[in-house]
């Protein structure tokens, strides 16, 4: 898809970690969430913006969560949404991300156990 090609050109011109992250989202939209997750995994975590919490940039976790959710893996998506909320740079973003994990958990199948 052309948008991915444009992001490829931006990556080539700038090398920006933000552009590379946005490219992973574009790949996920164009080629499916698993392709987006593969593009996300290929990002270099050794950039100056690396974090000790496992995701290199504040929005990396929310992108991972979004792509896992699109792939149908709601359980995996909930954790990075919670992490993204913790790292959110502003209140509006934090409030939005804080609502995502409970929203996903509400969509998970319920397992009932009988107490005797």
Split into its structural domains, the chain has a count of 1
Mean pLDDT of 40-60: 63
Does 38 reside within a domain? yes
Q: What CATH number has the domain bearing residue 68?
A: 1.25.40.10
User: How large a percentage of the chain has pLDDT more than 70?
Assistant: 82
State phi, psi for 2 to the nearest 5 degrees. Answer: -65, -35
Going from the C-alpha of 94 to that of each of 58, 86, 104, 115, the distances in angstroms are 11, 7, 16, 38
Q: pTM here?
A: 0.79
Does 113 reside within a domain? no
Does 21 reside within a domain? yes
Structure tokens that stand for 27 in this block:
């790949």
Does 57 reside within a domain? yes
CA angle 17, 18, 21 (to 5 degrees): 85
Q: What is the pLDDT of residue 50?
A: 43
Does 101 reside within a domain? yes
- Cβ contacts of 93 within 8 Å, gap of 6 or more: none
């Amino acid at each position: 898809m052309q948008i991915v090609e444009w992001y490829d050109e931006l990556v080539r011109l700038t090398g920006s970690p933000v552009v590379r992250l946005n490219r992973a989202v574009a790949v996920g939209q164009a080629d499916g969430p698993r392709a987006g997750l593969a593009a996300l995994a290929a990002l270099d975590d050794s950039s100056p913006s690396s974090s000790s919490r496992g995701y290199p940039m504040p929005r990396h976790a929310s992108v991972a969560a979004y792509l896992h959710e699109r792939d149908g893996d709601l359980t995996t998506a909930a954790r990075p949404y919670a992490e993204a909320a913790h790292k959110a740079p502003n209140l509006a973003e934090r409030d939005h991300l804080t609502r995502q994990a409970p929203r996903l958990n509400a969509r998970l199948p319920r397992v009932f156990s009988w107490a005797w």
